[in-house]
Amino acid sequence: MKKAFLFVFILSFWVFTAHGAALKIGYIDLDKAISESNEWEKAKKTLEDMRRTKQTLIDEKGNEIKKLEEELEKQASILTPKSIEDKQDHLKNKSL
């Protein structure tokens, strides 16, 4: 019985190794495939355009706040403490 089991084991091992020789294993570089696809390039361009637009809006808002701060500093000597506080609150609301 041991000989029959050993024979079947060796025969199955031989069959599987002979079949495995024809087996080919492939490798796909997903990073390269994605970065070279047309859809990726379109999405990347769209995101970059959105980033530029948002950055422009942020820069404009920052410049506006700086102008208001400079204006407040110039007028601080003639304004009442209450109006200075109101303008500072207005600046805080603008920056949010």
Q: Which long-range contacts (CB under 8 A, 24 or more apart) does 72-78 make?
A: none
- In this predicted structure, what is the pLDDT of residue 16? 60
Q: What is the pTM of this model?
A: 0.54
- In this predicted structure, what is the pLDDT of residue 32? 86
| CA–CA distances in Å: residue 18 to residues 12, 14, 15, 24, 50 | 10, 6, 5, 13, 57
| Residue written as token pair 């997903």 | 30
Taking only the tens of pLDDT, the chain with its 96 residues reads 667 666 666 766 665 655 555 667 778 888 888 888 888 889 999 999 999 999 999 999 999 889 988 888 888 888 888 888 888 888 788 776
- In this predicted structure, what is the pLDDT of residue 47? 96
